[in-house]
Structure 1
Amino acid sequence: MRGVLTALRTERGRLTTLYGALLLLAGGGLVALVYVLVGQGLYASVSGAVSTVSPAFRLQEGDKADVGRRPEPARTTAPGESPTTEEPASYAVTRNLTNAVTEAAQHRLLTVSLIALAAFAVLSIWLAWWMAGRVLRPVAVITGTARRLSGENLDERIALDAPPGELKELADTFDAMLGRMEHLVSAQRRFAANAAHELRTPLAVQRAAAEIGLAGDPSPERVARIRERLIGVADSSEHLIESLLLLAVSQEGLESTGRVDLAALAAAELAACPQQDLAVERTLAPLTVTGDRILLGHLVRNLLANAVRHNRAGGRLGLATSTEGELTVSNTGPVIDPADVPRLLEPFRRRAERQHTAGEGVGLGLSIAASIARAHGAELAARANPAPDGGLTVSVRFPEADLPAAGQRSAGAKGG
Structure 2
Amino acid sequence: MTALDAPLRNWAGNVGYRAARVHRPRTVAEVQEVVAGSERVKALGSRHCFNDIADTDADLVLLDDLDVRVELASADPDGSGVLWVPGGMPYSRLVPELARHGRALHNLASLPHITVAGATATGTHGSGSRNGSLSTSVAGLELVRSDGGLVVLEAGDADLPGAVVHLGALGVVTRVALRFQPTFDVRTTVYLDLTWDALFADLGAVTDAAYSVSVFTDWHRVTSVWVKSRTDEVDVAREDFFGARAATEPTHMLRDAAVENLTDQLDLPGEWHERLPHFRAEFTPSRGEELQSEYFVPREHGRAACEALRGLAGRISPLLQVGEIRTVAGDELWLSPASGGDVVALHFTWVPDEPAVTALLPEIEAALRPFGARPHWGKLFTTGAAELAGRYPRTADFRALVDRYDPRGAFRNDYLERTVLG
Same fold (TM > 0.5): no
Normalising by structure 1, report the TM-score.
0.17
Which is bigger in relative contact order (C-alpha 8 A, separation at least 6)? 2
Structure with the bigger percentage of strand: 2
Normalising by structure 2, report the TM-score.
0.17
Q: Which has the larger radius of gyration?
A: 1
